[in-house]
Amino acid sequence: MTKLDLSKFEKKLIIRNMEYRDIERILPLQAICFPGMEPWTKEQLKSHLRLFQEGQFVAEYDGEIIGSCSSLIINFDEYDDRHTWDDVTDRGYITNHNPDGYNLYGIEVMVHPKYRRMKIGHRLYEARKELVRRLNLKSIIIGGRIPNYYKYEDKMTAKEYVQEVSHHKIYDPVLSFQLINGFTLMRINPDYLPDDTQSKKYATLMEWNNVEYLPQTKRFFKSSYPVRICVVQYMMRQIESFSDFANQVEYYTDVASDAESDFIVFPELITTQLMSFLEEKVPSIAIRRVTEYTEQYIELFTNLAIRYNINIIGGSHFVKEDDDEIYNIAYLFRRDGTIEKQYKLHITPNERKWWGINRGEQVKVFDTDCGKIAMQICYDIEFPELARIATDMGAKIIFTPFCTEDRQGYLRVRYCAQARAVENQIYTVIAGTVGNLPQTENMDIQYAQSAIFAPSDFEFARDGIVGETNPNIEMVMIGDVDLEVLRRQRQDGTVRQLKDRRHDIYKVDYKK
């Protein structure tokens, strides 16, 4: 008997997390599902994946994307009862996503019309519910459309329409579906989606409660989330060996650890101090000699981070890579022993002329036990696009190791770091070198006044300065920044630069 080949009849339907490769297929799907409404942009969907990929799902049927849904986590109690879709999604970019929140907020579900009645929407909702159970969140909240209301607006109010649908006297493809899936009505919000003409801009605020939610004593609304930072204004002086350098670095790390600091920040080009004993007068050759100490440098700071239980921004160090080119790299040495690095992206004319330094190609943001941080080396902080990209990727603190030889150069770094703190509602930290290295070409003099900056608003430090060193002397400065205050001010501050950006007329396009 001939066997029937069942494989040719098989159709594979899977619900999975959205990936970057799906974006090009999701955009046309939204145009089909929501004709006349403003669709997602690539930048918005990329932002969703950067900030909360777990909360973004697609339905894939036989290799075709036929549905998707997007969401973020918030503390719903912090939002106004009459909030809009723009309010709760930061205009679709979800930069207000709060991993420590209690509620999953669903911001969109769509299914290709051709594949409706296949319970695709139900499967996507089940994926959300499973995520809520796994993350131990209290509930799912959604602002649901009522797309059939336009047919009844002359006969009844939105409230009356919703009541009729709830009593199964009228069928609404969205509201009826949500009620069947266990959601209960909280209220009706006007002006929720300005371009939703079918719903006449109304939305039903609905909630599904996670009956498996277990309150945990370690989870509570934080009135404070302090992070202590020790900034080292490092003296460049003559030394005789790498051991001398290691002794200086360990001394400061010990000081920071005694103060129970979470981070210690060293300046840019800190290892050029090694040139003081290398006896090489040609700058380009001297720099290559410094790169020979890369492994010792990494081993030193890794051991210090673990031994003193502190996250170290190890200034920056010149590294020769496999292409035989030299790069200026800032390293993050976490206290758990792991290491990250950020290449300097903008090279100064001086670095090109004397040392032939090459530029990096990628903006990075790093997870730490004190939230997400970025490192932008000296000149990089003078380019506002980089700080905006890092902020959109979730950074709350930008560390800027710097090395300047005169007051003019220093002030460029300082003024720009302060501006980045205001523009992005973020903390910025600058740490510079002082002193001198006689007979060391291109590193002979230094000028610095290191500092920690905050946004300028009532809840932050006066003048937006958490703390600063005295100019041009060797010292440390220790200051506390509060990430909870930062989060609240982004939501309810006197001004809200992140929320009030005009995405409709400008954008920062990161090409990586």
Name the amino acid, one letter, at 75.
N
Both tokens of 494, joined, read 């006197």
Task: Give the list of residues 6+ apart from residue 24 with CB closer than 8 angstroms, or none.
Answer: none
Cα-based distances in Å from 42 to 26, 27, 58, 108, 173: 9, 8, 16, 15, 27
pLDDT reported for residue 499? 84
Q: Are 58 and 65 in contact (CB under 8 A)?
A: yes
pLDDT tens, position by position, 190-248: 988 888 999 999 999 999 999 999 887 545 555 688 999 999 999 999 999 999 999 99
pLDDT reported for residue 82? 78
**What residue ranges define each of the domains in the chain, with the CATH number in brackets?**
13-209 (3.40.630.30), 226-492 (3.60.110.10)
Q: Are 204 and 163 in contact (CB under 8 A)?
A: no
User: DSSP for 213-243?
Assistant: ----TT----S--EEEEEEEEEEE---SSHH
Q: Are 330 and 341 in contact (CB under 8 A)?
A: yes
Query: Which residue from 354, 352, 343 is spatially nearest to 378, judged by alpha carbons?
Result: 343
Active site residues: 268, 344, 378
Q: How far is 454 from 461, CA to CA, in rounded Å?
A: 7
Average pLDDT per block of 10 residues along the chain, 512 residues long: 59 89 94 88 93 95 93 89 85 90 94 89 94 96 93 94 94 92 92 89 94 72 82 95 96 96 97 89 88 95 94 96 91 94 95 90 94 96 96 95 95 98 97 88 86 94 94 96 90 87 86 77
pLDDT tens, position by position, 267-287: 999 999 999 898 888 888 988
Q: Give the relative orientation of helices 407-424 and 384-392 as an angle to the nearest 10 degrees.
A: 40
Cα-based distances in Å from 262 to 258, 312, 425, 468: 11, 9, 21, 18
Q: How far is 297 from 289, CA to CA, in rounded Å?
A: 13
Paired sense of beta strands 263-266 and 311-320, if any: parallel
Both tokens of 127, joined, read 């994926």
pLDDT reported for residue 64? 92
Q: How far is 29 from 67, CA to CA, in rounded Å?
A: 8
If one counts every other C-beta atom within 10 angstroms of the C-beta of residue 267, the result is 28
Task: Give the list of residues 6+ apart from residue 3 with CB closer than 8 angstroms, or none.
Answer: none
Q: Give the relative orientation of helices 294-307 and 242-258 as an angle to the nearest 10 degrees.
A: 20
Q: How far is 252 from 264, CA to CA, in rounded Å?
A: 8
What's the pTM value of the predicted model, to 2 decimals? 0.71
pLDDT reported for residue 218? 47
* Burial class of residue 167, CB neighbours in 10 A (0-12, 13-18, 19+): exposed
